[in-house]
Amino acid sequence: MPRTRSLAWSELKIGVLMIVAVGIAGVLIFSLTGSRGFFWQRYTLKTRFAAVPGLTPGSPVRVAGVELGTVRGIELGGEQVDITFEVNKSVRDRITDQSVATLGSVSLLGQAAVDITPSTKGTPIPDGGSVRAGRPPAQLSDITETASQGIGEITGLVRDVRTGKGTVGKLMTDDRVYAELHQFVTSANDVTNAIKGGRGTLGRLVTDRQTVDALNASLRNLETMTQRINAGEGSLGKLLKDDAFSQSLTGATTNLRTLTDRLNRGEGTAGKLMTDPALFNRLNDVTTRLDQVVTKLNDGEGTAGQLLKDKQLYENMNKTVLEFQALLKQIEQDPKKYLNVKVSIF
């Protein structure tokens, strides 16, 4: 009987040691996993990337830079790669449909990680749901390729400059361009010196106080005139401020537009003259005939033309008129001499 009790106590000690070892192992596992939690404290999510260089099962999953999960599976899904990972349930309300999963890096050695941006504005993604993938970050190879292209372009640019292509190239290789640039700089220097010396309008404006005062006075007058216009003074001010004046001007414009429309429709004499070809032709004929009459008069044709051109005829007519006037005067002075009326009765 004592032997049986001793054997049971030995077995009990082994069991206690096993329990302690399991506890220590659990503590070690928890300390190694950190905030990832135990398996019952995690839930599964998915995402999809175009490429996953450096990402392997066991790679960390970070939420806002904090490591809270682990990558569990990587599988090809068509032209993209499906990623399955586990995350601690404590951040479930921060991983929503507004969150974005991107491929980050852990170190410069190429080890990758899945980075998730937290967002509390959307709806939390359920267990087994997918996180929207964001724009992939630039890889070192892409940066290297871009840098190589930039270096190549710089090399080509330097080659073109050395061969005299472009403005900079001509400036470095063409003496004529250099001379013209030097002349331009010299001219600019002369202009600057002239301005500093008070020559010309700009020079006076810079150095002559009287010119500056005159310009300031002009600006003040312009400001005063603007204030008067804004206050409604003068014709321009009334045009801007006085509704009656504006309405009168609008009425005049309307009447002018009405008159123009009537002319275009051929109403009235002026309208018919503008639109009626027959009236225009008649007026043109009258003008032509009047021009012919004037031409004949100038050429001395007819009585009126000879009267304009023949000086002797003019003098004779003038003499006749003078004599007729003298006769009338004599008749007025002595009418009995010229007016003798005899009446006889049969």
Q: Looking at the whole model, is its pTM more than 0.85?
A: no
Q: Rounded to an integer, what distance in angstroms lies between the CA atom of residue 223 and that of residue 225?
A: 5
Asked whether the predicted pLDDT for residue 50 surpasses 80, the reply is: yes
Show the DSSP H helices in the chain as ranges. 2-33, 140-162, 166-173, 175-196, 200-207, 209-230, 234-241, 243-265, 268-275, 277-299, 302-309, 311-333, 335-338
Worst-scoring range by mean pLDDT, 74-83, 148-157, 179-188, 332-341? 332-341
Per-residue pLDDT, 267: 77
Q: Rounded to an integer, what distance in angstroms lies between the CA atom of residue 231 and that of residue 338?
A: 87
Burial level of 271, CB count in 10 A (0-12/13-18/19+)?
middle
Asked whether the predicted pLDDT for residue 87 surpasses 70, the reply is: yes
Q: Rounded to an integer, what distance in angstroms lies between the CA atom of residue 170 and that of residue 345?
A: 133
Token readout for 67 is 């490591």
Tell me the average pLDDT across 49-69: 86
- Average pLDDT of the chain, as a whole number: 77
pLDDT in tens, 109-136: 668 888 888 988 888 988 888 888 887 6
Tell me the average pLDDT across 21-34: 61
Q: Rounded to an integer, what distance in angstroms lies between the CA atom of residue 170 and that of residue 166?
A: 6
Terminal alpha carbon distance of the chain:
217
Q: Rounded to an integer, what distance in angstroms lies between the CA atom of residue 107 and that of residue 105?
A: 6
Instruction: Break the chain into its structural domains and give their ranges.
Output: 32-137, 242-275, 277-335
Per-residue pLDDT, 30: 53
Asked whether the predicted pLDDT for residue 1 surpasses 50, the reply is: no
Tell me the average pLDDT across 84-106: 87
Per-residue pLDDT, 54: 81
- Report percent pLDDT > 70 for the chain: 79
Per-residue pLDDT, 29: 59
Q: Rounded to an integer, what distance in angstroms lies between the CA atom of residue 97 and that of residue 95?
A: 7
Per-residue pLDDT, 284: 79
